[in-house]
Amino acid sequence: MDKKLLINLSKFRECGNQSCDETPPEGFFSHLTGTTGLKSIRELAVFQFTCRKCEDAPCITVCPAEALEKDDNGMIERYTNLCISCKSCVAICPFGTMMSDFFDHHRKKDLFFDLSDEHELREFIKACPVGSVELVDMDENPEQNIYKLNDQILVKENIWNTDKQ
């Protein structure tokens, strides 16, 4: 895609707080699927921009499946192939980092869209909550709380600190 996809995380969060009737879809890039399982762009975004990288990381401690760990930069990573969707990490995180609908997708594979594919990208945008995702022709703009996740994705989020580590 020529344009970038702008993901507004607060709109998705509002959806998780019952303003939407349906579970929002997830977008991923098939070429980014690695040994830790399928990674949605929302999950990559919240661990990079919303998570406060707690030193004691209670989310890791509470996880009964050893599905969470920190990488060398202190960024949390979820092994989606180990996660049992208990949502203990959602409950214990003091900052609401993880959205509880992330874990519904284990059983709803039809909600996943491969954004490498133009048709699936269009379907993903249509299926997302109103105002949560749009194609834009712009670059990262921290003054508008817009940050670069990767070359194709921008994320709008009120981050707790501008040092993205």
Which residues within the stretch 102-131 sit at the binding site for ligand SF4 (CB under 6 A)? 103
Which residues within the stretch 12-31 sit at the binding site for ligand SF4 (CB under 6 A)? none
Cα–Cα dist 13/132, whole Å = 10
Interface residue with ligand SF4 among 65, 75, 125, 159 (CB under 6 A) is: 65
Q: What is the DSSP letter of 64?
A: T
Q: Tokens in use for 73?
A: 């930069």
Q: Tokens in use for 67?
A: 């599905």
With respect to ligand SF4, which residue has the nearer C-beta, 103 or 124? 103
Distances (CA, A) of 135 to 10, 40, 77, 117, 156: 17, 17, 27, 15, 13
Interface residue with ligand SF4 among 5, 83, 111, 149 (CB under 6 A) is: 83
Q: Which residues bind ligand SF4 (CB under 6 A)?
A: 51-54, 57-59, 62-63, 65, 67-68, 76, 78, 83-89, 93, 95, 97, 103
